[in-house]
Each structure stands twice: as structure tokens, then as C-alpha cells.
Amino acid sequence: MDQLLLDRLLGDPSLFTPTGGHHAIEIFLPRSSTATKPDPQVRETVLAEKQLAGWCREEPKRDGDGSLFRLLVCSPRVLDRDIWPLPVTSSTLASMLASQEIPALFPRAICRHIPLATSFESLDGSNDKFGILLRTNLSHTWQYSLALVQDPASSTTTGIIFGLRSNEMEEVLQIVRHMAIYVASCPAVLPCLLMDRGLDELVKDAEERRKGLTQIRIETGSQGFHQASLMKTNDQWELDRDDLDLDVLMQKLTSLSDACSGISAVCRMQFNFIDVVSSFFHRDARLEKSPDSSSSRYARQQLRFFGQFLHGVESKVTYTKSSVQDQVQTIYTLISQRDSRNHMALAKTTRRLAELSRKDSTDMRVISAVTLVFLPATFMSTFFSASFFNFQPRPEVDPSEHVSRWIWLYCVVTTVLTLVVLASWWYFSRRQHVKANVAFRRESELKRQATMEVGKFNGGIGDGAAIKMPDESSGGIPGQQLRGRMEDFRPYLGGSIAEGMFARKVTLPPDLSGGPSRVETWNISPTATGLR
């Protein structure tokens, strides 16, 4: 099955882009009988793509008895986010895997974005080869795949690295040259060096996330020990809250939470790296003979340091994720407070408009009252001045008469008419007010009765309860049960359908497959009851 999947992967041309510039380093450490450490012999070459298969198959040259460490760092990756396409051909990759007896899982992990940390053994019983496979799940920097194979029979260790960027590749080569004696005497040092650089970038990423969270906390005013927040006045906080773009803050918090989850996943994978490298370290027969060598002590110290280092990163990420949730609640609170402030401002504006409307209404009533007072007098003066009445003074009869003697009639009729108009206005206004109050009370009472009828109809139905239909003896639908929710009936029972109209009775279809087929209502609106 593994070979079938490998053949399918090797047949995908999009996964391979052969290039040159592959660096090979061979470090030979002669075995010495004296206490002094011998100097390692380092040989470095640059290989073309067609030379890679031969380099993996060839028998390494030795100048005497000792251990040999061989490292192949393939040319930098093409894409920034992905290790693939690999800088070799499919046939070259197959030859490299076969010569070093590397499992088919290694290229699958590279090309399928699968983080991997596992050990393996040779399936051929003629040798005792063993090794480890590492594939990181880092996002951008130090995303690599390492296959490390050791042959105890020849004291040879071979490592193959895919996926480094150009600057990372140069840094690895420089570190290997500088620590050649450590790498040659204890091959587990190589994955420790790669893990060290990857963890350093991981810590930087975690620190950047923490700084981003701190900035959000400062913007929301929840950074309690920040001096800038303590120096702000209430008016400044009010302006800052109104200027906050809460949508952008929520997007940042979501991105921050996702990044923290990614860092946690990397930490868990790095713990697996530590376990696998430790197993490789303890299986190295050469280290059993010299367990207290400087290279073995260095490797053990690095692995212990990485474990504690990852615990520290996890604690920081856990705090960041917890604080992100607190900030999400803070954002919801700020949204609620902003809505409350807007509602309060709207309520104040509405009250002010109501007061102005009330003043206008009072003014209009005063104007209407004054108009009603003067209207009868104006009408009577016009009426008495008509041509078919003669109420003019008679100076020819009485020279001292300047006002008609019928002025009393005008005053009496005007006064009586004014009183009648004002009384009629008061009576009809009062009657309309009483009718409106009666209609309101009647509507409230009918709502209460409708709610009670609903309770009687469904036998005290609650949300999610069974509805018992009336049986045939009561003239209703045969006894059946219908599972439903109260919300399905509220638009029909106990709720207002239109102004003054309420549901009185619901008739369900016999198959109970849908909602109410008929709703009987009674109309209590002021128009229908004659209250308008």
C-alpha cells in the first residue's frame, strides 16, 4: 500500500521542480586512542540534481578508522509557504529513498502538509540501519523535513534536509561547519540545532501575538497597569470608546486566537520531536561507550532545555488565548454599552420632541380656545350687520343715542352661543377620551382572555410539550398528539393579528401535516366596535 501511494505521488509532476545548488557536507572523525580529541575532517561540495542519486549510493571514502557524518542540504524551496515542489526529479527521489532505506512516508509527509516525528528501522534483515523522520508544522520560517539514517555497521550517519529557504540553508551550513566535531560524534546534535532555530522563531511569533494583544487591551481600556490609560480623563475615554472600530478589533482577536491555536499545535509537535530525537540519541551505540562525552551532554542538555522552553511558550500562549476570550467579552460589553448610550441619547431626543410636541399641542389648544371664544362674537356681529336687520341708532329721534338700543340682544345671544360652543367642545373631547380608555382596557382584557383560552386549548402547553387535540366526542379532531413548540401558535393564539384583532380558535387539518388551516377571529378594533 505504501508503495502504491508513493508511485501515485511520484507520478504527480506538480510536486517536482528539479534545480541545482545542492550542498553536501562530509565530516570524518578519526577514532583516537589518546585523551585528546582529533580534529574532524570536513569536505563540502555543491552537487547538481543528477549527482544526488550517486552521492546517496556511493560508498563514502574514509582516511582510517572512525565515524562519518554525511549531510545533504537540498536547494532552497521555491514557494514561501510550502516545501514542495521538491528540487529533484521523481526518479532521483525514489533512488535516494531506496539507497538509504527511507520509508515512503517521508515524501508523503513533505508533499501533503503532514507534520511528522517518527523513528524507523530497516526492513532488510541484513543490516541494522535505523533513523528518524521529522517534518515541521511551522508556518513560514524554518519549515523543513529531515531524514536521519544511521548505519551502525559502518559507523556512518546520513542526513537529508528538504525545505529550507536560502538564508536558512546558509545558516545551517555555517552551524554544521562550526560544530562539526559535535555533529560527527553525536548525530542527534543536528536535529537539536534545527529545533533550536525553529523554537527561536516560535518564541518571536508568540511574543508578537502577546504584543498585539497588549495593543488591543490598551485600545479597549483594559490594560490596568498601563500609564497612558491611567492618565486619561473620563471625557477622553468617552471619545476613545466612540472612536473604536469594534469590527476591526473582533477580526484581530479572531486572528489572534487562530494564531495561538497554531502555536499550541507547533508546541505539541515539538514535544514529539524531543521524544523521537531522544530515542535516536539513546539508540546510538557509540554514545553508550562514552555517555559523558561533551557532544552527548550537549544533546541531552538541549533536549531538556527544549522541553522546558516549550512549556514556557505553552503557558504564554494559554494566557494569551484566555486573555483573548476576555477581550471578546469586553468587546461585547462595549457594543452593549454603545447601544445603551445610543438608546439613551435617542430616548432623550424623543423626550425632548415629546415635550416640544406637548408644548405645541398646548399652544394649539389655547389658540383653539381663543378662536372658539371670539368665533361666536364674530359670527353674531356679522349676522346682526346683515341688511335684513335694522339695529342702527336713531339720532333723529334721540340725538344722544350713539349705540343701538338692541345692543343687549347682541350681548345675550353672543354669550349664550359662546357658552354652548365651549361646552360642546369640552363634552365631545371628554367623550372621545373616555372611549379611547375603554377601548384600551377592553383590548388588554381580551389579550388576557386569549392567553387563558390558549392554556385551556392545549392543556397547559409549554415549549416542546405535546399538544392533545380534542377527541371525536367533543366534536373535534380525533385524539392525536402533535409535537410542537409554543412559538408556532403564538402568531395565531394570544397574539395580535391586526389592530384590535385576536385569534379565538384554531382548526388544524386532519393529517396534522401543516400549520393552522383556518383561524377564527373577532374584531375589537375601535372602528368595528363603533368607538371611532
Residue type for 311, please?
H
Q: Sorting pLDDT into bands at 50, 70 and 90, what band is 22?
A: very high
What is the average pLDDT value for the chain, to the nearest integer?
79
pLDDT at 1: 57
Contact (Cβ atoms closer than 8 angstroms) between residue 331 and residue 219: no
pLDDT at 390: 66
Contact (Cβ atoms closer than 8 angstroms) between residue 297 and residue 315: no
Q: How far apart are CA 485 and CA 369, in angstroms?
A: 56
pLDDT tens, position by position, 386-411: 666 666 766 666 666 666 777 788 88
pLDDT tens, position by position, 250-260: 888 988 999 99
Whether residue 28 is predicted with pLDDT greater than 70 in this model: the reply is yes
Residue 109 vs residue 406, higher pLDDT: 109
Closest CA to 90 of 113, 70, 111, 118: 111
Whether residue 318 is predicted with pLDDT greater than 70 in this model: the reply is yes
Whether residue 512 is predicted with pLDDT greater than 70 in this model: the reply is no
pLDDT tens, position by position, 61-106: 777 778 889 999 999 987 777 787 899 999 999 999 999 999 988 9
Whether residue 185 is predicted with pLDDT greater than 50 in this model: the reply is yes
Q: How far apart are CA 237 and CA 352, in angstroms?
A: 27
CA distances from 20 to 23, 26, 58, 171, 221 (A): 9, 19, 19, 19, 55
Q: Sorting pLDDT into bands at 50, 70 and 90, what band is 486?
A: very low
Residue 519 vs residue 179, higher pLDDT: 179
pLDDT at 168: 92
Q: Sorting pLDDT into bands at 50, 70 and 90, what band is 484?
A: very low
What the block records as the C-alpha cell of 455 is: 392554556
pLDDT tens, position by position, 257-297: 999 999 999 999 999 999 999 999 888 756 555 555 788 88
pLDDT at 242: 65
**Global pTM value:** 0.65
CA atoms within 13 A on the CB side of 492: 16
**Quick one: CA torsion of 219, 224, 227, 230, rounded to 10 degrees?**
90
- Residue 217: which residues within 8 A CB-CB, separation 6 or more? 223, 226, 323, 327
